[in-house]
Structure 1
Amino acid sequence: MKTLSIAIIGAGLGGIAAAIELKKAGHEDITILEKASDVGGVWRDNTYPGAACDVPSPFYSYSFEPNPRWPRRFSQQPAILDYISDVADTYDVRRHIRFGVEVTAATFDEARGHWTLDLSTGDTLVADVLVPAVGQLSRPTTPPIPGRDTFAGESFHSARWDHDVELDGKRIAVIGTGASAIQFVPEIQPQAAHLEVYQRSAPYLLPRPDREFTELHHKIFKLLPATQLAERGTWYGLVEALSVAWVYSKPLAALIGRLSRAHMKRQAKAKPGLFEKVWPDYPIGCKRVLFSSDYIPALAQPNTELITTGIREITPNGIITTDRVEHPTDVIIWGTGFKATEFLAPMKITGLGGRDLHEQWADGASAYYGMTVTGFPNMLIMYGPNTNTGGGSIIYFLEVQAAYLREFVDAVAERGAPLTVKAIVERAYDQRIQDKLANSVWSQCTSWYRTASGRVTTNWPLLGIEYKREAKFDPADYQPVPAKKPV
């Protein structure tokens, strides 16, 4: 059996899961290339006030490494980053990581049957197997609003929070009302002299059943691991119920909608007219339902205004809305999300016959179970196309993908030749997934789940447990790539 060299791009939750699974199987020739200076991915980058996961921590963690000392049920960014760092240390992952190194391009060498990676250092790295693990939420995006670059005040994206900017007593504009904004708006609202939140599309909200885990909880979780397993199982069932609602049960979706309406209406009653602004105008589940018990109360405060009029332009002194009203502003915070559908960008990935991955994905990214792509041998993507979840924990999906990767690598080592997924297999899979998505709730509104053409490229259309059951490595789905003689 051939010993394989493996290059993993990214040291976030996906890259670490991949490395651990491979190491457990005896694969040690692993290099993880991380452009930042530490592990953590999105949990290293997103340090905005109030940053936390909207999946309960006992479920938003690796099944093989439960943490009995989570500080809260919905833990915040520092605790999650500490957990990721501890896991990397526990499983001896750090010695495989090269920090401060970005991959700019990767090319499959058909003559030698390996990948050559171009690095930001000017060096190259050769690897038998390529594992991009850069995630879907790593590249912030801001809309091309006219005059954006003329603004004279401070501005930054929530995923690149500038902690040196003084917010006390300032007129602050928050553009965007997604998952990040509903967390940081309540945190900065008391600091602002005036806070304006610009909303294009309102999110559905459910109560956030958060609580502190006390020392007693920690002792019980440690001494009786079954209690933490029960907590994990309970929350798995509850968040998976959201997926059941979106995929299989319109009555359950309607019930969740009624719960959301009652929660939001109750919280908005302090400010007349607020509920009419915050209540969404699209089917529930089309965008990710968010958990919050303090966002709407923050909007109801006297110093806060929710603006639903569109933005016409940004000037040096503020924002002009489409009704021609000018809003003087000192600080702009962009809560406008990520380039989620631009998978693996800005890397240039070149496969068999010189094919360019991004050209192949011009109409929207696709991959077999979100992991392998025809014509790109020995490349397996973590958190790739159509592997996001509309209700559960992405770590659950990452563990399934890591197990698939391990079997894939074992098969490559056994055959001694690169493997590529058969075109007919990938096409049939993609057609089935897109047929399901075309009739799903995710096709009924504009969201970061979809490309400009309307193709849903991020979400898995079924339940998490169905992904785990289906995404099993089968050698019959792949064909070896014979070495091509140099011309």
Structure 2
Amino acid sequence: MDTRTSPRIVVIGAGFGGLGTAIELVRHGFEDVTVLEKAEDVGGVWRDNTYPNAACDVPSSLYSWSFAQNPDWHRRYAGHAEILAYIRRVAAELGVLDRVRTGVEVTGAAYDEDTATWRVETATGETLTADFLVAAVGQLSRPVIPDLPGRDSFAGPAFHSARWDHSVDLTGKRVAVIGTGASAIQFVPGIQPTAGHVTVFQRSAPYVVPKPDIGYSRARRALYARVPGTQAFGRNLTWVLSEQLNKSLTGTAPMKKLMEAGWHALLRAQVRDPELRAKLKPDYPIGCKRLLFSNDWYPTLVKPNVDVVTHGVVEVLPDGVRSADGTVHPADVIIWGTGFAATEFLAPMKVQGAGGTSLDDAWADGARAYFGICVPGFPNLGLVYGPNTNLGGSSIINMMESQSGFIRQLVERVRDGGSVAVRPEAEESFDAEIQQRLRDSVWGGCASWYRDDHGRVTTNWPGTVAEYKQRTARVDPADFEVTPR
């Protein structure tokens, strides 16, 4: 006889999303919460990305849990080590760190309709049973390295920026950096002073705007601790500005023009060479690809030991790489700044819902979910940072907090057993609305990592954070089918 008094909840992933959801559940009285993390530590992207100059591009006061403000940030834009320490500290203080099992990789999960439970399978062969399953694996957790001819023939060290090899001394080395995304614009300035030569391979020029970063003095941190309202004021101001940026990306606010002016002024002031400046001008509308923030990207590219190559890499050789124009570029080290499998979501896990339907089949035409959280045919499953919940501006932490609260409400509906599943027509209506809005947004106009192989934008939310928070604040019973135990 089943005598459970509390639902068994399994959360996959111990980054901001997974830990935040675990905190939300524990704070509302759910005690049987287990967080599974395949790595040996918590922290998600802030555990993985340890490259030189790794830092957030959202102000620290906003890039933090609303219920755990940190008056002791040392910079407006905190570095990865400080963010990781914050995550660990808050998780410990709020009672979820001890609920995390590290070194446990989930390989699959299957829903059992007879018992309304999930069977969660791990790489070691262990099986866990959950009454409710939360997948919080993130969109930027699986690095991508292009499968170029000769890739395995390279004689020197080669690594992805999210798997930085700190044993490799770059002093005096010829370094080939492939990719110019958010990671590269941070680590290239970090390695340039010591490297012998850096060749940056740019497939598409990014928009780079000034980063208003400053260090916080001891006196300022003390003020934030003693008078929290002073930090809250700055956080709220940042929120307002970031929401204007979000509106601009969907065509309803003027900030995009201001950002474009900032980019243009920065480029002209920092890059005097007209030939190089021409290489660094994007050929798409601002915001269509991720907007980047840096004060030292352009100054680094004008250094005498840096070259920018706009021809794509077509082949890797034992001692370098060959670009599309036939030029061989000698290299001692290759660093891949080639991003992540952002549109593959729960892969490579194999997830089966009601009737044995696989998530791969359900998403054959592109990932989709009701507010990025619920998938029809997959009862008692909640996604954190799922399809169409990424942002072009502002802090993703706010979005994930809304998702955590929504998932907690779903769990409350099956506290005593049974199942809760989003109705297909509710998800279809939501998806039709979102895809239409995305087509009308800036993201509808260029190729980017926001799109999957079918050309569908599966990552981004086409509105403000405030709208998302308002629409997910309460579960609409009409959109869900609840089956009692």
TM-score normalised to structure 1 length: 0.97
**Cα separation, 1, equivalents of 2:214 and 2:236:** 18
Render the CA deviation track for 1:433-487: whole Å, top value 9, x for unaligned. Answer: 111111211121111110121100000001111100112312221113478xxxx
Render the CA deviation track for 1:308-343: whole Å, top value 9, x for unaligned. Answer: 012221111111111111111100000000000001
Q: Bigger CA drift: 190-199 or 239-248?
A: 239-248
**Cα separation, 2, equivalents of 1:146 and 1:101:** 34
2:198 equivalent in structure 1:
195
3-state DSSP class of the match of 2:415?
Answer: helix
Report deviation, 1:200: 0.3
**Cα separation, 1, equivalents of 2:253 and 2:216:** 35
Contact 1:246-1:253 within 8 A present in 2 as well: yes
1:351 equivalent in structure 2:
353
Match of 1:214 among 194, 217, 234: 217
- Identity across matched positions, percent: 52
1:317 equivalent in structure 2:
319
In the alignment, does 2:151 pair up with 1:165?
no
In the alignment, does 2:471 pair up with 1:470?
yes
1:399-478 equivalences in 2 (<5 Å): 399-413=401-415, 416-471=417-472, 472-478=474-480
1:126-275 equivalences in 2 (<5 Å): 126-249=129-252, 251-269=254-272, 271-275=273-277
Letter in 1 for 2:346: L
Contact 2:246-2:394 within 8 A present in 1 as well: yes
1:27-106 equivalences in 2 (<5 Å): 27-106=30-109
Gaps of 5+ in 2: none
Letter in 1 for 2:407: L
* Aligned length, in residue pairs: 481
Letter in 2 for 1:14: G
3-state DSSP class of the match of 2:334?
Answer: strand
Render the CA deviation track for 1:4-47: whole Å, top value 9, x for unaligned. Answer: 00000011000111011101110000010011111100000000
Render the CA deviation track for 1:138-169: whole Å, top value 9, x for unaligned. Answer: 00001122111111111000000000011000
Match of 2:300 among 287, 298, 301: 298
Render the CA deviation track for 1:27-76: whole Å, top value 9, x for unaligned. Answer: 00001001111110000000000000000000000010000000100010
Gaps of 5+ in 1: none
**Cα separation, 2, equivalents of 1:301 and 1:293:** 14
3-state DSSP class of the match of 2:321?
Answer: strand
1:122 equivalent in structure 2:
125
1:480 equivalent in structure 2:
482
TM-score normalised to structure 2 length: 0.97
In the alignment, does 2:17 pair up with 1:14?
yes
Match of 1:394 among 390, 393, 396: 396
**Cα separation, 2, equivalents of 1:159 and 1:406:** 31
3-state DSSP class of the match of 1:17?
Answer: helix
Q: Bigger CA drift: 62-71 or 444-453?
A: 444-453
- Flag the 1:81–1:199 CA change in 2: closer, same or farther, 3 A: same
3-state DSSP class of the match of 1:185?
Answer: helix
Contact 2:51-2:187 within 8 A present in 1 as well: yes
**Cα separation, 1, equivalents of 2:237 and 2:422:** 37
Letter in 2 for 1:203: P
Contact 1:443-1:454 within 8 A present in 2 as well: no
3-state DSSP class of the match of 1:413?
Answer: coil
Render the CA deviation track for 1:243-262: whole Å, top value 9, x for unaligned. Answer: 11111336442332122111
Render the CA deviation track for 1:344-401: whole Å, top value 9, x for unaligned. Answer: 0000000011100011101110000000000000000000000001101000001111
Letter in 1 for 2:207: Y
In the alignment, does 2:12 pair up with 1:26?
no
**Cα separation, 1, equivalents of 2:268 and 2:240:** 27
3-state DSSP class of the match of 2:129?
Answer: strand
Letter in 1 for 2:290: R
Contact 1:411-1:475 within 8 A present in 2 as well: no
1:341 equivalent in structure 2:
343
**Cα separation, 2, equivalents of 1:312 and 1:306:** 16
Report deviation, 1:2: 5.2
3-state DSSP class of the match of 1:273?
Answer: helix
Instruction: Tell me how large the CA RMSD over aligned residues is.
Output: 1.2
Letter in 2 for 1:460: W
**Cα separation, 2, equivalents of 1:50 and 1:93:** 29
**Cα separation, 1, equivalents of 2:185 and 2:137:** 25
**Cα separation, 1, equivalents of 2:406 and 2:314:** 48
